[in-house]
Amino acid sequence: MVTELCAAATPIPAVSVNNNYLACAPLPNINDDAFINLDQGDPVVMEAYWRRMSERCTVVIKGCEFLSYLSDLSNVCWFMMPRLRDNIKRLHALVGNADTENSHIVVGTGSTQLFQAALFALSSSSPPPHHPIHVLAASPYYSEYQDEVGVLRSGLYKWSGDALEYDKDEAFIEVVTSPNNPDGSIREAVVTRSGSEGKVIHDLAYYWPHYTPITHKASHDIMLFTFSKCTGHAGSRIGWAIVKDIEIAKKMTRFIQMSSIGVSKESQTRAAKIMEVICDSYQNFGSKESDLFFEYSKRLMKERWEKLREVVDQNGFFSLPNFPRAYCNFTKESSETYPAFAWLKCNEKDQDCEGYLEKKLKVLARSGKRFGADASLETCPTATGTDLMKGLGKQGYDIYLIFS
């Protein structure tokens, strides 16, 4: 399985990572007519770690289990299993990235469903408006927000674009993604109009120590997290919201009840077990560093970014953002952000970055226009950065794959 890559002018015989030697092999020939699709990200970059930890994460589910819709009727989110709730709190307490005290946790089928649930809860919490509530996000924003807001054709809310340009004295919901997808920046709410009623959803999918320094314990009205970005288990489709207002939590739970009658207990059980394994490894003082998930993943992201920057610098046509260093309260050291995606900029004036990648490099990626930004900007996931390297490698650079 390909887990990493390196770019160099001369072959590299081996790379040492904590005394585990990984052999480098030359990049196989790429068909000149082949296109590389970077329009979708898939977090399989973590698979090598979880393959090594697979026995510890194994769960056994008997045929007589999980027949009921119900999990915990004493909880606002009655379909959430107590074991998952407790391990979500345990994981956040370990990392220190979010305050779960005096809040309610709502589980969803990924954070996408929770985003829809939050929009429903916030837009239906007041008397029916004369027109839909505006949903905003500062550009560049996550490219799927617009479609997610519009897909249900709700009369309660509508997509209104860039929060930086919002100038109406009307009710709005601002979505704050931090670290931001696509540019990796740390964000805060930007709309401060005193004459309008504003509510905020904080999407903290990437606020984990392998992506960015944990500088504070977030404590917002609605915070969204996803198992996909935390551990890489996108196929389990588990997300959770930390909600302060019990009435909002009830309405979010109601939305999920009406759309999917709860969340798979098999997925909840698996997620709870994996969270237990992560937390146990940090609380077991005999654990090897290679067994510590966030250390392993941060090292992996750091290596990928270093190699990506090297190839982009050699190419010269693109540039990447630089991220400030900050002290991480979890790792107890200073570091920079290592996003799970690359926000590329074409250095040539008025150049269509998407068109250049497709026509010159045969790489398919998302145009900056999809993120409310300039067409000279482009994004592609570093989780599949191997493919981007292959595309740049067509231009004459020596690219080598590291196989595990």
Report the chain's mean pLDDT, rounded to a whole number: 84
Query: Lowest mean pLDDT: which of 19-23, 153-157, 159-163, 165-169?
Result: 19-23
360 vs 326, higher pLDDT:
326
pLDDT computed for residue 124 by the predictor = 86
Mean pLDDT, residues 88-106: 98
Select from 220, 260, 218 the least CA-distant residue to 243.
220
pLDDT computed for residue 175 by the predictor = 98
254: exposed, middle or buried (C-beta count within 10 Å: 0-12, 13-18, 19+)? middle
| pLDDT band with cut points at 50, 70 and 90 for residue 27 | very low
Asked whether 123 and 149 are in contact (CB, 8 A), the reply is no
Which residue in this structure is represented by tokens 């903290």? 204
How many Å apart are CA 61 and CA 42, to the nearest integer? 27
Specify which residues 379 forms β-bridges with. Answer: 343, 366
Query: Lowest mean pLDDT: which of 23-32, 155-164, 313-322?
Result: 23-32
The pairing of strands 399-403 and 222-226 is unpaired
| pLDDT band with cut points at 50, 70 and 90 for residue 238 | very high
Confidence check: pLDDT of 173 > 90: yes
Helix (H, G, I), strand (E, B) or coil at 136: strand
* pTM given for the model: 0.86
Asked whether 320 and 378 are in contact (CB, 8 A), the reply is no
pLDDT computed for residue 69 by the predictor = 96
How many Å apart are CA 176 and CA 186, to the nearest integer? 9
Q: What domains, with CATH codes, occur in the chain?
A: 82-281 (3.40.640.10)
Confidence check: pLDDT of 400 > 80: no
| pLDDT band with cut points at 50, 70 and 90 for residue 378 | low
Query: Lowest mean pLDDT: which of 155-159, 231-235, 277-281, 288-292?
Result: 288-292
350: exposed, middle or buried (C-beta count within 10 Å: 0-12, 13-18, 19+)? exposed
How many Å apart are CA 107 and CA 81, to the nearest integer? 9
Q: What are phi and psi of 210, to 5 degrees?
A: -85, -15
Say which DSSP state 152 is in.
T
Could you read off the pLDDT of 199-225 as tens digits, one per residue?
Answer: 999 999 999 999 999 999 999 999 999
16 vs 334, higher pLDDT:
334
Say which DSSP state 129 is in.
P
**Is the sign of the CA dihedral 148, 154, 155, 157 positive or negative?**
negative
| pLDDT band with cut points at 50, 70 and 90 for residue 24 | very low
- Percent of the chain beyond pLDDT 70? 82
In a 13 Å sphere around the CA of 143, the CA atoms on its Cβ side amount to: 21
